[in-house]
Structure 1
Amino acid sequence: MLTVVILFLCFAILLYFLLGGADFGAGIIELFTSDRNKNRTRRTSYQAIGPIWEANHMWLIIAVVILFVGFPNIYTQLSISLHIPILIMLMGIIARGTAFSFRNYDAIKGERTQNLYNHIFVYSSFITPLFLGIVAGSAISGQINVQATTFMDAYVYDWFNLFSIAVGLFTVALCGFLAAIYLIGESIAEKDVKRFILKAKVLNILAFVCGGLVFLAAEIENVHLARWIFGNPISLTAVILASISLVLLWITVNKGKRFIARLFAAFQVSMILLSVGYRHYPNFVLIKGGANLSLLTDHATDKTITTLGTALLLGSLLILPSLFYLYYSFKDRNREED
């Protein structure tokens, strides 16, 4: 049953990045859109995420619950050492969701309040994935110091380092790229399609540059990222497949096959996560000095894991069909309105 729980954890993290990350990316794209095109971008983004944006946070909640119940040592260490970036990330999620709701459903849509909501939405859309990436980078950086005796060593330097920040910037670029690819498929006017294709190309280049910064920062911070990825056949294969899927993605975009392009984008991101995660599995948190917290050893009692795994299996029978129906219903309603 432990394997089932771990698979659900990995599945939840992956889906949150693919779906929630694309939602964040919609705000990132809006942030870097010219004033004359902002309204068109907002309308297209709303058609894409609309009221289903909140459902995507379900995957984050599932991941947190799994860690809290099934892996309390890991949950505790992350919550203590990385509580500052986690708090900022959570505040960003709340601010973004609040602004998104108010700017779309506000009964009195005054210019001043709309501007406030728009600014909160776009900046929190940037800040949230930035700190999500910082948390992820910190977990594998080996900088978490459980023996720290000062505030800075215990709560700041664990995450405020070149590698974690570089991972955060890479996450922002990747979320923006995902959103641009998804929004190509949501666009009706040819002008909007071309605009999102251009943004996808720019964000693709930025993601590549930020990825290079991650490797550079890893060398500076003595994080063995290159060895993890290129010294392991599975991780290396994942990188090769991600590169191939990127080429195929742009071929399908140019041919107008938007749905297939989305699949290639999701596959590429999945391979990127696999290339990094596979090498140091089952270690979930790398501790300064060479220690680590493992999914296979730092878990709850067998009885707790069995109960959690059973709940996840039974819950998925209810949640997954309902979620699929929510997506289908909302997309079908958009088609009728169009």
Structure 2
Amino acid sequence: MEYVIIGFLWLAILLYLVLGGADFGAGIIELFSTPANRSRTRKAAYQAIGPIWEANHMWLIIAVVILFVGFPLIYSTMSIYLHIPLVIMLIGITARGTAFVFRNYDAVVDNMQGIYNRIFLLSSFITPLFLGIIAGSAISGQINPSSTNFLSAYVFVWLNWFSVAIGLFTVALCGFLASIYLIGEAKNDEDKRDFIRKARNWNIIAVVCGALVFTAAWHDNIPLIRWILGNTIGLTAVIAASISLLVLWILVGRGKTIMPRILAGFQASMILLAITYVHFPDFLILKDGEHLSLFKHQAPNATMQALGWALIIGSLFILPALFYLYYSFQKDRFVEDGHLKS
């Protein structure tokens, strides 16, 4: 049953990265759009994420519940030593959702719309930034349970070059995912060309931020290259992601919209696979050399059995309903005159 639970945990993290990342990315690309086309980006993003943006957070909730119930030591360690970035991320999620509602559905249109808009855009950037920082902190080896100094225990565990670089890479990845997704939401050729240009720009930014991650890893003495390229699975994942990126741009050049979205999500999954496979089953790397493992540091067997069955049974009800929700708002993009759109 532990493999079932770990599978659900990995899938929840992946889906939050892909779907939630595209959601955050819509605000990110609007934030960095020029004033001339910011309203165009805002309109397309609203039409794409407006009805279903809240559903993306269920993947984060599932991951948190799995850690809380099934792996309490891992959950408590992260909650204690990473409480600052966790709180900032949660504030960002809450502020973003609230601002999105008020900037689009407020009964009174006044100067507050500008404030709501700025809150939405800034929280769209801050939230994935700290999500990536938390992920980087989990594998950076900076968490030190024996530390007696506030800064070293609760600040420098996440405020370091490697974790911040992971955060910036996450932001760039979200911008890329959103741009690819919004190509298919464009209502005319001008909008489509604009989102293709944004996707190319964010692709370049993601590559630069990826190089920054490896540079920061070298600076912080983290063997990231060996972690990713030192095993067959990691190397295969990198090659698969690179090939899929090339295919993605070929398809975009041919005017395709559905397959590029799938390939963009595939690239995100390969990135996650490459960095998580080498550490499995370890989830947290501590400074004293100890690793918190998904096998060794799990809840009692009775709890794991109950959690596993709850996830299996719950998924039979939740997943079909959720994907039907996505389909119901996107079916006009998939079906045209009875044929599947490419």
Name stretches of at least 5 consecutive residues in structure 2 with no aligned partner.
336-342
Q: Hey, what does 1:163 align to over in structure 2?
A: 162
Letter of the structure 2 residue corresponding to residue 30 of structure 1: E
CA contact (8 A) 1:135 1:159 kept: yes
* Aligned counterparts, 1:98-247, within 5 A: 98-110=98-110, 112-247=111-246
Cα-to-partner distance string for 1:287-333 (whole Å, 9 max, x where unaligned): 00211100011000000000000000000011001101111222248
Q: Hey, what does 1:87 align to over in structure 2?
A: 87
TM-score, normalised to structure 2's length? 0.96
Q: Quote the offset at 1:334 in angstroms.
A: 8.5
CA contact (8 A) 1:143 1:288 kept: yes
Distance 2:155 2:134 in 1: 12
Q: Quote the offset at 1:247 in angstroms.
A: 0.2
Q: Quote the offset at 1:36 in angstroms.
A: 2.1
CA contact (8 A) 1:24 1:126 kept: yes
**Aligned in 2, Cα 1:261/1:142: closer, same or farther, shift over 3 Å?**
same
Q: Hey, what does 1:68 align to over in structure 2?
A: 68
Which structure has greater helix proportion?
1
Q: Quote the offset at 1:38 in angstroms.
A: 1.6
Letter of the structure 1 residue corresponding to residue 42 of structure 2: R
Letter of the structure 1 residue corresponding to residue 113 of structure 2: Q
Q: Hey, what does 2:292 align to over in structure 1?
A: 293
Q: Hey, what does 2:338 align to over in structure 1?
A: none
1:208 aligns to what SS in structure 2? Answer: helix
TM-score, normalised to structure 1's length? 0.97
Q: Say if 2:301 is the partner of 1:302.
A: yes
Distance 1:252 1:192 in 2: 18
Letter of the structure 1 residue corresponding to residue 272 of structure 2: L
Q: Quote the offset at 1:127 in angstroms.
A: 0.3
Name stretches of at least 5 consecutive residues in structure 1 with no aligned partner.
none
Q: Hey, what does 1:38 align to over in structure 2?
A: 38
Letter of the structure 1 residue corresponding to residue 104 of structure 2: N
Letter of the structure 2 residue corresponding to residue 220 of structure 1: H
**Aligned in 2, Cα 1:126/1:304: closer, same or farther, shift over 3 Å?**
same
Cα-to-partner distance string for 1:156-213 (whole Å, 9 max, x where unaligned): 0110100000000000000000000000011121111000111111110110010001
Q: Quote the offset at 1:37 in angstroms.
A: 1.4
Q: Hey, what does 1:322 align to over in structure 2?
A: 321
Q: Quote the offset at 1:61 in angstroms.
A: 0.2
Q: Hey, what does 2:276 align to over in structure 1?
A: 277
Cα-to-partner distance string for 1:261-309 (whole Å, 9 max, x where unaligned): 1111010111011111101111000000211100011000000000000
CA contact (8 A) 1:47 1:334 kept: no
Q: Quote the offset at 1:52 in angstroms.
A: 0.5
Q: Hey, what does 1:96 align to over in structure 2?
A: 96
Distance 2:187 2:106 in 1: 26
Cα-to-partner distance string for 1:77-102 (whole Å, 9 max, x where unaligned): 00000000000000000000000011
Q: Hey, what does 2:6 align to over in structure 1?
A: 6
Letter of the structure 2 residue corresponding to residue 74 of structure 1: I
Letter of the structure 2 residue corresponding to residue 224 of structure 1: P
CA contact (8 A) 1:71 1:300 kept: yes
Q: Quote the offset at 1:335 in angstroms.
A: 9.4
Letter of the structure 1 residue corresponding to residue 151 of structure 2: M
2:144 aligns to what SS in structure 1? Answer: coil
2:51 aligns to what SS in structure 1? Answer: helix
Cα-to-partner distance string for 1:98-121 (whole Å, 9 max, x where unaligned): 0001111111122x1111111000
Distance 1:253 1:121 in 2: 29
2:284 aligns to what SS in structure 1? Answer: strand
Distance 2:34 2:11 in 1: 36
Q: Quote the offset at 1:41 in angstroms.
A: 1.0
Distance 1:78 1:334 in 2: 41
Letter of the structure 2 residue corresponding to residue 52 of structure 1: I
Letter of the structure 2 residue corresponding to residue 107 of structure 1: A
Structure 1, 100-109 or 133-142: larger mean CA deviation? 100-109
Distance 1:255 1:163 in 2: 38
Q: Quote the offset at 1:254 in angstroms.
A: 0.4
Distance 1:141 1:48 in 2: 36
Give the aligned CA root-mean-square deviation in angstroms: 1.2
Q: Hey, what does 2:251 align to over in structure 1?
A: 252
**Aligned in 2, Cα 1:332/1:238: closer, same or farther, shift over 3 Å?**
closer
